[in-house]
Amino acid sequence: MQNPFDDRVLALSGPARDYLPVTPSDADPLPQVAVGLYVEVGGRVSFVSEAGFTRDVEAADNGWILCGMRQVLATGTTASGLHALIVV
pLDDT in tens, 42-71: 999 999 999 999 999 999 999 999 999 999
- Alpha carbon separation from 61 to 11, 16, 21, 28, 75 (Å, rounded): 27, 20, 16, 25, 20
Query: Chain centroid to CA 20: how far?
Result: 8
Answer yes or no: are the C-beta atoms of 35 and 76 closer than 8 Å: no
Residues 6+ apart with CB under 8 A from 85: 16, 19, 20, 34, 35, 36, 37, 38
* Domain range annotation of the chain: 18-86
Residues 11-27 have a mean pLDDT of 84
Percent of the chain with pLDDT over 70: 85
Please give the single-letter amino acid code of residue 13: S
pTM of the model: 0.85
